Amino acid sequence: MLADDEQLLREGVRLVLRHAEDIEVVAEAGDGAEAARLACERPVDVALVDIRMPGTDGLTAAELMAEQAPAVKVVMLTTFGEQEYITRALRAGAAGFLLKDSGPQELIHAVRAAAHGGAILSPRITKDLIATHVMAGDSRTVKAQRLVDSLNERERDVLVLVGVGASNAEAARLLYMGEGTVKTYVSRILAKLGCVNRVQAAIIAHDAGMLPAG
């Protein structure tokens, strides 16, 4: 589903996604309230939702979908410099963020990754997001390390791969596990860490110092 008050942008995104045989646009919305309603009425797997829309904005729409249609993976469409909205969107369960000026292949990859449970963060957004959390100070590190201490060794291995953006299939290959087993581990990790999605888990992995530099 595409949710943006600018019809021209929706048409551009729809044209890009038309080149992917495994992706179909089943609904379009011009505001957040309509997006939340359509997410409940249509067979939507992924929703690309603009953060800023008149009336009900994208953040409110993400919160509504988290309550009413939790199976829908919400990817927020944003412009560079809107990082102040990221924390609220993460709490609402957004699967990630994609800059509106992203290229066609990045857009297609984002939809596919979100549909398969991946976390979507444009590199420029990731840099600022991590910087924001680093600036929060040592208290975040201590809290994250305490949460990670609740995981066993195998769960930590899976969390590291989640933190670097690996899909379930990629994690399964790297850890010599079945993809279904990885999904079970990810669900267990999210529950133990108190996270609603992989993006939140990735931030905890970063704050705990588990991720490789760069």
Q: What are the residues whose beta carbons fall under 8 Å from the beta carbon of 169, sequence distance 6 or more?
A: 116, 179
Flag whether pLDDT at 165 surpasses 90: no
CATH placement of domain 137-207: 1.10.10.10
Region 174-184: mean pLDDT is: 92
- How confident is the model over 28-81, as pLDDT tens digits? 999 999 999 999 999 999 999 998 888 888 889 998 998 899 889 999 888 755
The answer to whether the pTM exceeds 0.75 is no
pLDDT at 122: 63
Flag whether pLDDT at 191 surpasses 70: yes
pLDDT at 88: 73
Radius of gyration of the chain (CA): 17
Structure token pair of residue 92: 């609402």
Task: Identify the band that residue 194 occupies on the pLDDT scale cut at 50, 70 and 90.
Answer: confident
- How confident is the model over 127-161, as pLDDT tens digits? 555 555 554 555 677 888 889 999 999 999 999 99
pLDDT at 83: 60
CATH placement of domain 2-130: 3.40.50.2300
Domain boundaries, the chain: 2-130, 137-207
Q: Which amino acid is at 7?
A: Q
Q: Which own/partner contact pairs does 167-171 have at CB distance under 8 Å and 24+ positions apart?
A: 167/113, 167/116, 167/117, 167/118, 168/116, 168/117, 169/116
> Is it true that 2-130 and 137-207 share their CATH fold?
no
Flag whether pLDDT at 98 surpasses 90: no
pLDDT at 188: 93
Q: Is 124 left (phi over 0), alpha (psi -120 to 50) or beta?
A: alpha
